[in-house]
Structure 1
């Protein structure tokens, strides 16, 4: 039965490849300056509305413990240009792979930053202190990221009113700004953005949109990063991984990095 299962698995992969699933791609005009160029893809590609992520020049990943062991050298030579790594959530949980990923990505010379998954059962100040206790203040790191979305946790099912959400999140990001010297990037989802009027914030945004271009899904909202799939395929990473793009050109990416990695 095990042998039969393996054979069926191989046939499924072949079938997906034949219909376009899991294909690799080369974003037009990309010049990564190392390796053989972009070799990543998507296990569940689909049509896009309003613009295609593959048209963007600079791609990256965001990861957590679920990615397991990572071959960062292969990740880099695949064309991945940045990585956001989960560090903490709430005020008492740290991702067990964070420090290893942080070190290994740095050794592979992939620009990387840390993100925090915000909970609504602890204060912004408590969560900021927890993040600072776990994430080094290191020259050359990308700005910290505040991940704001409605949690599905059984231990924290609260959905506080918008004014409370914004107050505690503002406290969190202001503490991190003072400590790390960089304003945190705000990651968010469509429903959370809408429910809490995040468009009123003059912050740098990383937007999740896995079906349509952010210019359609978040009309009028400037953004620096776009998370476009949770089913990405990247050499050096087993299984699916989140893929993202930087919103600007390759030259704008280099300028963005210079401004933040000093």
Structure 2
């Protein structure tokens, strides 16, 4: 395992990779920025001066592929927020979702649920499935719609027309906004964003995947709120590799965003 050079920093000025894993005995206020970032990466990319190290608030996204997360340890080593996979399509609930939801809350990690969109199911049906399983928690982060192509799906590899995809996305987004009372976010990848002109969906905060360049270089003028910058991260307390993310702003801006979106 190589330490990710651009993440070798800590707000407490601890030496990267050499400080002992911190633990906490009581839960901090939900979403309070973690005291340091102690992440590593098995395949780091050098983003240069515009890398994620320029952003102080970091987090992860997690699913059943990260079983039995020690949320207290993850929090103490830099995880301020977590996006948790909840549902997929109209009949799949991630088996780790409920425990991750409870564990993140207990550790003081700001947390929200995301839905992986299945292109062979009606959007309204998928929204009902998500609502059935994700709590309406005023303190949680807004829900997220994950929009990607599914070329390796064993049951659904269709590529619908861009206009159809945008229309279905709006149906899902409108339904969950009405239920949770929060403006949802959209997660997407480079090819899906371009192929379907997702900037035309509407005025939503975007969570963008870009693991080999800064999002501004890939997505042009698209404003972004969260950036997924690695799929090969290593965080104390999390078994195996995990996706790493950062918030686009300083600590004060993060607190302001939280106040506006998770109250």
* TM-score normalised by the chain length of structure 2: 0.88
Partners of 2:51 and 2:123 lie apart in 1 by 36
Offset at residue 22 of structure 1 (A)? 8.6
Quote the residue 1:26 is aligned against.
Answer: 9
Q: Is the 8 A contact 2:55 2:247 kept in 1?
A: yes
Partners of 2:166 and 2:147 lie apart in 1 by 10
Secondary structure class of the residue paired with 1:114: strand
Q: Is the 8 A contact 1:120 1:156 kept in 2?
A: yes
Partners of 2:204 and 2:7 lie apart in 1 by 34
Offset at residue 29 of structure 1 (A)? 8.8
Gapped regions of structure 1 (runs ≥ 5): 1-12
Partners of 1:28 and 1:160 lie apart in 2 by 46
Offset at residue 102 of structure 1 (A)? 0.4
Quote the residue 1:239 is aligned against.
Answer: 240
Partners of 1:217 and 1:117 lie apart in 2 by 22
Quote the residue 1:7 is aligned against.
Answer: none
Quote the residue 2:28 is aligned against.
Answer: none
Residue correspondence of structure 1 range 25-174 to structure 2 within 5 A: 25-26=8-9, 37-48=36-47, 51-151=50-150, 152-174=152-174
Task: Spell out structure 1 runs of 4+ moving beyond 3 A.
Answer: 20-24, 27-30, 32-36
Taking a change above 3 Å as real, the CA distance of residues 218 and 181 of structure 1, as seen in their structure-2 partners, is: same
Partners of 1:47 and 1:141 lie apart in 2 by 33
Partners of 1:164 and 1:174 lie apart in 2 by 15
Secondary structure class of the residue paired with 2:8: coil
Offset at residue 33 of structure 1 (A)? 7.0
Gapped regions of structure 2 (runs ≥ 5): 14-30
Q: Is the 8 A contact 1:49 1:211 kept in 2?
A: no
Quote the residue 2:17 is aligned against.
Answer: none
Partners of 1:148 and 1:60 lie apart in 2 by 20
Q: Is the 8 A contact 2:207 2:224 kept in 1?
A: yes
Partners of 1:27 and 1:46 lie apart in 2 by 19
Quote the residue 1:183 is aligned against.
Answer: 183
Q: Is the 8 A contact 2:228 2:244 kept in 1?
A: yes
Partners of 1:229 and 1:33 lie apart in 2 by 23
Taking a change above 3 Å as real, the CA distance of residues 176 and 33 of structure 1, as seen in their structure-2 partners, is: closer
Partners of 1:191 and 1:70 lie apart in 2 by 31
Aligned length: 244
Q: Is the 8 A contact 1:90 1:117 kept in 2?
A: yes
Taking a change above 3 Å as real, the CA distance of residues 74 and 162 of structure 1, as seen in their structure-2 partners, is: same
Q: Is the 8 A contact 1:34 1:77 kept in 2?
A: no
Partners of 1:220 and 1:36 lie apart in 2 by 32
Rg: which structure is higher? 1
* TM-score normalised by the chain length of structure 1: 0.88
Secondary structure class of the residue paired with 2:229: strand
Q: Is the 8 A contact 2:33 2:80 kept in 1?
A: no
Offset at residue 46 of structure 1 (A)? 2.2
